[in-house]
Structure 1
């Protein structure tokens, strides 16, 4: 079975670096690994030093000298384009409303927004992530899929989306039933745009299939045997507070949280630099605070590095500190 690892936290804490490093580490352990970025502000391509798109791209790790990297294959990466998915879903929702009106069922713009906007246009990147999660997990082609998620608010919507969209899809299916009672022509008009969501225009159960897909994603997200969420934070008060809120919300959603990564910890001050020693002491206190705040989580620290972590060699240095 395919395992799933999600990295999340506030913006700028290093989620992408952790996801890339974990992918590299897992590939080194002989596991076929896919790293996927669902963050609209993509930087996964920079981490791997390779151009990426929505389809999995093989990462050539043979040239790196890091001992944690295998001599061949095993690592793939992809970046979701949420704007494309958003525009696609908006067109489908509007087309559905137009078809309903043409079939004699009034559906005002405000009703379209109420039924679809909360779960689709505003959250279409989450829908894309869930759809991709199911696609890659059920394909059986990967041992592990590592997700680099968007900042906290987007990530939390990721876990709320199946429920929110479930309500919208139930309403859409009910409306489709009304269209069926009007006649075959109206039914065809209703099914046309929505069938694009599953790629099968002849499948009259397309809405049900799409809803089942979201439910499948929800089952995966809350399965502790398959899915783990790792929170990334910084040794700073605001980041710790946001991490605490994130962990609480994830646990409320029955999502397994086992590890917290504290990134950019200052470790090796110059003995002649009093400011450096003070900064190290401050970070040590923050890390101790994190361990006290999250006593049931494995806390892993990563050192502060000079410059951005870009390219396989840089990512490999981080991978050495992560146990996979």
Structure 2
């Protein structure tokens, strides 16, 4: 099963490109689902479906929480965050409501306080997992939220997993052993096993999501318009997505003015876009860059969307835009000699040019590497074979972070350091 996620700066036409890609896949006979994780859901609009109570037009209907068929082999779904919240968070919310009720918080206010920040992103991931594990689909296309939200979304499984693996077991044992004393001392009920079990289930589900989206059949595709500000964000997105271990398999340059015409205004835009497009090719060296041109009318509906995608992907020549990408995993470990020395490679494309080497920092704490790139940090749990070794050097070279591990006589049980990369 192929999973393809589309992201990009808000307003670049991401929903149109993702919908068109899905329509193209369905036309090839692939049973395809388009799933929106964007709170501003616009997939229904792209397909000519009004997601809500319309004025009674024949093509207006409410999109439900389950996949809705829009064409042969093509289905669309908007994630119902409230529904998934009730399914996945009910035990934890019930406990939190009891605590807030005990200390006198108004019931309505308490319900608002027990909705975790970023809940929609969490439950969008869980819905993606449910659809992927159903076995019903050959292709799942995900119309993600704008770039910043997408990066937070994709970083979530690993970040929450770190907390649940390290902190939750300690809390669970402490509460179980000292529950009567803690309840009396705090004046509020302590959580029971069902609450902890719900957290563990959430951890396991998000771990599945992480494995699914970082697997070889999943990739991210960046949509941009040929503008300097948009290109700058797209470059940083490629670096950050690679930091979190996700494959980027290509770039779609959208809303390009076609050449021709005699008016100076349009000629100026064509020239400006041509200049940026040249930089796009240089910025994403090694990735296919597809081009999608402005059409005389707005593409709405399955036939129009499919035509947009087919015309754009024709720019790739022999590259199949729907195939599993033949790309090296962003994270790998190479053995270096017979003495146990190893080198960890983490792809950070363009980091030296667009972020700056001084913005890359590395920290070590036990079996974890803390890798910081600008405003983003990843806590990377080392394989057991590496956790027993020492970091002997690190550098940014060739578009990747290379960390060398060597065997030494002794190493402190916990070692913390942080330094900029040379």
TM-score after normalising by structure 2 = 0.61
Q: 2:8 — aligned with what? A: 9
| Residue 176 of structure 1, CA deviation | 3.6
From 169, 180, 185, the equivalent of 2:176 is: 180
Gaps of 5+ in 1: 61-72, 107-115, 195-203
Equivalent position SS for 1:231: strand
| CA distance in structure 1 between the partners assigned to 2:82 and 2:239 by the alignment | 29
Match of 1:245 among 231, 236, 250: 236
Q: CA deviation at 1:209?
A: 2.6
Distance in 2 between residues matched to 1:245 and 1:6, nearest whole Å? 17
Cα displacement (A) at 1:315: 1.1
Partner Cα distance (1:54, 1:308) in 2: 27
Contact 1:173/1:207 (CA < 8 Å) preserved in 2? no
Query: Partner of 2:268 in structure 1?
Result: 278
Q: What stretches of structure 2 of length at least 5 have no aligned partner?
A: 50-60, 104-112, 184-188, 314-320, 323-422
Secondary structure of the residue aligned to 2:223 is: strand
Residue equivalent to 1:209: 201
Correspondence for 1:218: 210
1:278, distance to aligned residue in structure 2 (A): 2.4
Aligned length: 285
Higher RCO structure, 1 or 2 (CA under 8 Å, sep 6+): 1
Structure 1 residues 121 and 84, CA gap change in structure 2 (3 angstroms):
farther
1:265-304 equivalences under 5 Å are: 265-270=256-261, 272-304=262-294
Is the Cα–Cα contact under 8 Å of residues 222 and 256 in structure 1 kept in the other structure?
yes
Name the one with the larger helix percent. Answer: 1
Distance, in Å, in 1 between the alignment partners of 2:169 and 2:219 is: 33
After superposition, the Cα gap between the structure-2 partners of 1:96 and 1:307, relative to the gap in structure 1 and judged at 3 Å, is farther
Largest Rg, 1 or 2: 2
d(CA) in 1 for partners of 2:199 and 2:207? Answer: 12
Matched residue, 1:127:
122
Give the conservation status (yes or no) of the 8 Å contact 2:92–2:198.
no
- Partners of 2:33 and 2:75 within 8 A in 1: yes
The equivalent of 1:153 in structure 2 is: 148
Match of 2:364 in 1: none
Are 2:64 and 1:53 aligned?
Answer: yes
CA distance 1:31–1:90, shift in 2 (3 Å)? closer
**Do the aligned residues in 1 keep the contact of 2:31 with 2:73 (CA within 8 Å)?**
yes
Q: State the Cα RMSD in Å.
A: 3.1
